[in-house]
């Protein structure tokens, strides 16, 4: 299975992140999980209630969370959203799809893979393998070669092949 994680905004301050498991043969998205640090209702209605009726805010907040309308389902840094999504997806794949994801093909998602090794979602005897996505390897190699050419040209060295 191929795994990809992304965020709503670039940088380290995104409020929403997503992780998806994609079947490499069919290209179909098998499962996905959204991690959210933001709830629009909390941001708008909650802020209004807290400002206008502060004595009612705690009760409103508790009821809002209990009603399952609150979309906040993650606590932590934006960078850890990908790790959490991986954990959720690998933990529920047997229950949802009746099979195990035994190989994780992704970019450099080392933290996510290390978390899966700690979690052992299929037991201690089933290790999940990590393979690098060839497109990401090509991208990193290309960037390294362009940097080498740039550095050499600044020093007046020509590269011949």
Phi, psi of 79 (to 5 degrees): -65, -25
Partners of 63 in beta bridges: none
pLDDT for position 109: 67
In a domain, 103, yes or no: yes
pLDDT, tens digit, 9 for 90 and up, residues 111-149: 888 999 999 999 999 989 888 877 767 777 888 888 888
In a domain, 115, yes or no: yes
pLDDT for position 63: 92
In a domain, 56, yes or no: no
pLDDT for position 35: 96
pLDDT for position 12: 75
Distance between CA atoms of residues 136 and 138, nearest Å: 5
88: domain range? 2-37+72-133
Identify which of 16, 21, 51, 48 has the alpha carbon closest to the alpha carbon of residue 34.
Answer: 16
In a domain, 159, yes or no: no
pLDDT for position 31: 95
DSSP 112-139: HHHHHHHH-TT-TT-PPEEEE-HHHHHH
Task: Label residues 100-118 b or e (16+ Cβ within 10 Å = b).
Answer: ebeebbbbebeebbebbee
Distance between CA atoms of residues 21 and 133, nearest Å: 13
Specify the number of domains making up the chain: 1
In a domain, 12, yes or no: yes
Identify which of 40, 133, 143, 18 has the alpha carbon closest to the alpha carbon of residue 9.
Answer: 18
Q: Taking the model in full, what pTM does it have?
A: 0.74
pLDDT for position 161: 60
In a domain, 161, yes or no: no
pLDDT, tens digit, 9 for 90 and up, residues 63-109: 999 998 999 999 999 889 989 999 999 999 988 988 888 888 887 66
DSSP 69-111: -------S-GGGHHHHHHHHHHHHHHHHHSS---EEEESS-HH
Domain CATH for 121 = 3.30.70
Beta strand 129-132 pairing with 103-106: parallel
pLDDT, tens digit, 9 for 90 and up, residues 1-40: 888 888 888 777 899 999 999 988 898 999 999 999 999 9
């Amino acid at each position: 299975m191929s795994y990809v994680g992304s965020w709503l905004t670039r940088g380290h301050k995104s409020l929403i992140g997503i992780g998806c498991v994609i079947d490499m043969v069919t290209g179909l998205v098998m499962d996905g999980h959204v991690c959210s640090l933001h709830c629009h209702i909390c941001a708008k209605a909650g802020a209004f209630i807290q400002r206008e009726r502060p004595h009612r805010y705690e009760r409103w907040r508790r009821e809002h969370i209990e009603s399952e309308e609150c979309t906040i389902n993650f606590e932590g840094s934006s960078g850890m959203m990908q790790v959490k999504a991986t954990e959720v997806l690998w933990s529920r794949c047997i229950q949802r799809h009746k099979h195990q994801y035994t190989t994780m093909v992704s970019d450099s998602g080392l933290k996510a893979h290390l978390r899966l090794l700690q979690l052992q979602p299929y037991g201690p005897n089933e290790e999940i393998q990590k393979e690098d996505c060839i497109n990401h390897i090509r991208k990193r190699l290309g960037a390294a070669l362009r940097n080498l050419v740039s550095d050499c040209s600044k020093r007046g060295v020509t590269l011949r092949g």
